[in-house]
């Protein structure tokens, strides 16, 4: 059975305006895979998938700006969960490494942040053995 946690984005994720409240749910049978579904059904069914970077991309350690951390109320890096948006297609799944979703696990506020000072791809192929 899936665990569902309400999360609130500081600003709507791109393309999902005006929704800021989402339900973060574990996908059964897939450790570290989540669906984020808009809680406001009056805006229509809006959902996207994200993976836990610590599970699938252990070498991915993005650094967010101090201002972004302050907006999220992050006082301890251990309180941050890093998810990356997954885009499945017939050619395989890609992940957005340029704009991870950072969740403060104390407050459940989150933001999709754009990383600065790096050469992160928008569509990095997710290797089939990444979680092995």
The CATH superfamily label for domain 4-125 reads BH3618-like (2.30.290.10)
What is the bridge-based pairing of β-strands 109-112 and 4-9?
parallel
| pLDDT tens per residue, range 49-74 | 999 999 999 999 999 999 999 999 99
Q: Given this model, what pLDDT does residue 132 score?
A: 43
Residue 34: exposed, middle, or buried by beta-carbon count in 10 A (0-12, 13-18, 19+)?
buried
The ranges assigned to domains in the chain are 4-125
Distance CA 66, CA 72 (A): 10
Residue 113: exposed, middle, or buried by beta-carbon count in 10 A (0-12, 13-18, 19+)?
buried
- Residue 106: CB partners within 8 Å, gap ≥ 6? 73, 79
| pLDDT tens per residue, range 93-104 | 999 999 999 999
């Amino acid at each position: 059975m899936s665990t569902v946690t309400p999360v609130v984005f500081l600003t709507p994720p791109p393309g999902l305006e005006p929704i800021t409240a989402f339900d973060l749910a574990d996908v059964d049978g897939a450790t570290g895979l989540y669906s984020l579904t808009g809680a406001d059904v009056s805006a229509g069914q809006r959902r996207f998938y994200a993976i836990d970077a610590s599970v699938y991309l252990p070498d991915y350690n993005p650094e967010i700006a101090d201002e972004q951390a302050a907006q999220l109320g992050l006082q301890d890096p251990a309180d941050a969960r890093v998810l990356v948006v997954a885009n499945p297609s017939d050619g395989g799944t890609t992940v957005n490494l340029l704009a991870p979703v950072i969740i403060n696990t104390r407050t459940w506020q989150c933001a999709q942040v754009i990383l600065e000072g790096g050469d992160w791809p928008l569509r990095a192929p997710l290797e089939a053995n990444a979680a092995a």
